[in-house]
Structures are given as C-alpha cells and as structure tokens.
Structure 1
Amino acid sequence: MSNEETSTRRQILELLKRRGEMTAAQMGETIGITSMGVRQHLSRLERDGLVATVIIRQKRGRPTCKFVLTEQAEALFPARYGQIAVELLEQIVEMNGAEQIDRLFERRMTGLERQYRAVMGGLPLDERVDRLARIREDEGYMAEAGTDEEGAYTLVEHHCPIYEIAKRFPQACQYEQALFAHTLETDVRRIEHKIAGDGRCRYVVRS
C-alpha cells in the first residue's frame, strides 16, 4: 500500500469521525477525488472492519447508501482514557485517602476472581492456565500460556490496558498477581514486569 493510499484512507476515516454518515460522493467532493476512487478505498476499509454501510430509505426515489465508522475504527483515534482514570483516582485519594484506592483494587480483584472462577470449574491446573490466558486475551492483554525450561506453567501478557494506572498506582499490579494466584489456587510469581522496564509481564505458575 502506497503512502498516498494510506493518507487517503486516513482522510476518509477522519471525515467520517467528524461528520458521521456520508455518501461516497460527499467524501469525494471534500477530499478532491472521484466517487469511484472513494469507493475503492471504502471497499478496503470495509474489508478491514473499519467502515460499515448504512442504507437510508427515502419516501421517494432510490435508497441512499451512506458510510459510517465501526466501533473497531474508534481505536484508531487518540484517547486519554488511561490518564483520565489516573486523574479520577488521584481525586479519590485527595478526598478519601490513599487506603480507598486499595479498597477499589481489592473490590475489582474480587469481582474478576468470581468471573474467572465461574468459567474454570474443576479443570486441572494446566487447563486453568490456558483458560486464564484466553480470558486475558479477550480483555486486551495479548496474553498467552506456555511452559518454561523447567516445565513450569507460564502466563505472558504483552500488553497492559491499565499501564497508565499501574505506573501511578503500582499496587494495581500486586492485586492482579494476587488475582491470578487466587483464581488458579496456587503460587504465582511475576518474573518480568512492564512497569519495571521489561517489555512484557511474565508470570510463573507453580503447581
């Protein structure tokens, strides 16, 4: 894909973000290319799951075909959710004291533990680790289960959705480690830590 193609598709995405539903003709007129050219880019964006078609039915005449961003496309635009969450937690500390943060993290851990346990049943440890990795993968942690050179089970998380929070409130990581130990009902050690400068978080699960 050329830089020009990438730039045009980005323009289309930004137009839809700012204006909502638009026809190919409207986008072409704004960007300065033909409707056919816009449709070629839209076809690729639809295949990528970033744009969807909406049919607007008129009282008279043919229906109008418009295009909108999908929920998946929202991830392409800057967001400050992490920083906003940090600011809110800092306000809680200021109003209610630092111990309130620990209560919040503990409550979150308890709720997640209940959810995780509900889908694990009486599975053996290796299957519980695999199931936990799949759950965390679905939650955006880019997680995978495996074993180390000694045959111990491992859980690796390549991404951290709460990274901004954990930088400011490192106890968030302590509660996540405790969550894994409680859920798996065994000892869990963290041997790599993104907050400490590693490229990922890696846990060893002892049977």
Structure 2
Amino acid sequence: MLHPEELRNNGVVKYVRETTEGRETVETAAPQSTASSRDRVARSILDHGPSSAADLAERLCLTQAAVRRHLDALTAAGLVTSREQKVYGHRGRGRPARVFLLTDSGRSTFYQAYDQLAADALGFLAEAAGGGEKGREALAAFARARLARDAERYAGSLGECPDTEAKAQALAGALTADGYAATVRSAPLGEQLCQHHCPVAHIAEQFPQFCEAETELFSQLLGTHVQRLATIAHGDGVCTTFVPRAAPPPHQETSTTDDETAASGRNPA
C-alpha cells in the first residue's frame, strides 16, 4: 500500500537479491515514470480541484489508463476519493463522470509540519485574550491584520477593471500568485471565485475567523456583498465564493423639448 510520505520521498527502491555470500539489500533509483507521475496526479488535483480521469490525462499528457492506475494507488492509500461530478443546468443521458479529490490525508501531505505549532499559538492567543467571545474577537482581529498586508496589493491587481467578471478574474490571478490556485467560472447571476488550494486550511478548520476575514476582504475588494458557498476547511473540495453581478442602471426616460422633437422629425403627439 502507498504511504502518504511516498508522495514526497519516492526516489529509491529497495529489493533483496541472492549472492554467493548470502542475501543483500540493494537500493536503486525508482522509475521516474511511476513516482513522479503519481505525484503530479496528486498535485494536479490539489491545484485544480475535483478532476475526472480524462481531465487529468489531458492536463498531464498521460493516457487515461495510466492516470487510472495512479488514482487506484492513491485511493488505496486513502489519499484520494471520488464522487459523481456535479452537473449544472441540463443533464444529458448516461451516468455523470466520476471526479477525484484529495482526502484530508492527501492534503496533509502538502502541508508544512508547523501547522500544529501555528494552531497552538492561536489557541494560546485566544486564551490570553480572555477566552470565550474576547478570544474569538482577538482571533478575528489577527486574521484581518494578516490579510490587510495583502489587501493593498490585491487592490492594485484589480486596477480599473470595468465589471464584476474582470474584477473576479484579476483577484483570482492575484490569489493564484499567492498559492491559492484560483479560477473563475460564470454562474447565472454572477461569478464563482474558486480556490482549489488553501495554504491555511488546517488552521481555518479550527479557527473559522480566517475564512470569515477572507470573505470580508473579497467583499471590500470587489465592491459588492459576496457569499461563501463552500470551503476546504469545512470538508469541501474547493473554496467557492459567489460574486453577484452589478445590477444594470435603471432606465431613465428623458424629456425632449418641442424644438428637439421637431428637429428629429418625430410627431410630439
């Protein structure tokens, strides 16, 4: 069975061979086609969110058969799971394709070991502030202060974007540069800003103030009320934020003078 650590430490293969002096263990380099490809499959799911075998094959320039072998190994190790693909709008014939997403164990292989240290520090901060509501307020203040250092840079990325879609696309680009692997897709009444990776998911799982502060920041940057639909911290495959489109300006009727009406050749009656 594949061990989670093998995603990052898979350059050596050990085998035992018989010699005239007895048995000996020999180490050789692992075939890169297997080790590195499996790591690339897991990384691609992390960066792009729930993906079908066909999506992964196209993205990584592998055959679907090879991708499925890697997915089977990752699933057996408890690093990947699957579900039916969500269909938006009209659903065609046949069963929906299955998509694969990382489990908590799979995501944990990409997180740094200092997650627990950060969680302990934040817990201490909450208790030092008095616990209870005061502790939660202290954590919220810290989360906002942490994001404030990025707010000006993100605002600069939005620049003079003319509409909601352009603003969401610019914000997604800025978030991607910071490791959030963000994309935008159109929805009937607005845009969905999707973050396929969250560097602080394990922390946000214990301290929701980080998700709340991020939602507030998005609302400020985009100039509209946004709604958080899903978060990786709560067990969803992707952090999804709905950004409503700005309503078109109301139609304004303009009055014309008799001279203007006559000049236009229209009948004032």
Give yes or no for the alignment of 1:154 onto 2:187: no
Contact 1:146/1:153 (8 A) holds in 2: yes
Deviation at 1:204, TM superposition (A): 1.0
In 2, Cα distance between equivalents of 1:89 and 1:76: 22
Give yes or no for the alignment of 1:90 onto 2:123: yes
Contact 2:227/2:242 (8 A) holds in 1: yes
Say which one has the larger Rg: 2
Percent of paired sites with the same residue: 28
Which of the two has greater helix per residue? 1
Aligned match of 1:128 in 156, 167, 170? 167
Residue by residue over 1:61-116, the C-alpha shift from the partner in whole angstroms, topping out at 9 and shown as x without a partner, is xxxxxxxxxxxxxx978732322211111121222341322221121232221110
TM-score, normalization: structure 2?
0.48
In 2, Cα distance between equivalents of 1:95 and 1:102: 14
- In the alignment, what sits opposite 1:164? 202
In 2, Cα distance between equivalents of 1:145 and 1:175: 20
Return closer, same or farther for 1:195/1:76 CA change in 2, 3 Å cut-off: closer
Return closer, same or farther for 1:78/1:100 CA change in 2, 3 Å cut-off: closer
Unaligned runs of 5+ in 2: 13-24, 40-107, 247-269
Structure 1: which 4+ aligned runs deviate by more than 6 Å? 75-78
Return closer, same or farther for 1:145/1:168 CA change in 2, 3 Å cut-off: same
In 1, Cα distance between equivalents of 2:140 and 2:215: 14
**How large is the RMSD of aligned CA atoms in angstroms?**
3.4
TM-score, normalization: structure 1?
0.61
Unaligned runs of 5+ in 1: 13-30, 49-74
Deviation at 1:173, TM superposition (A): 0.7
The amino acid across from 1:127 in the alignment is A
Q: Secondary structure in 1 aligned to 2:194?
A: strand
The amino acid across from 2:234 in the alignment is A
The amino acid across from 1:92 in the alignment is L
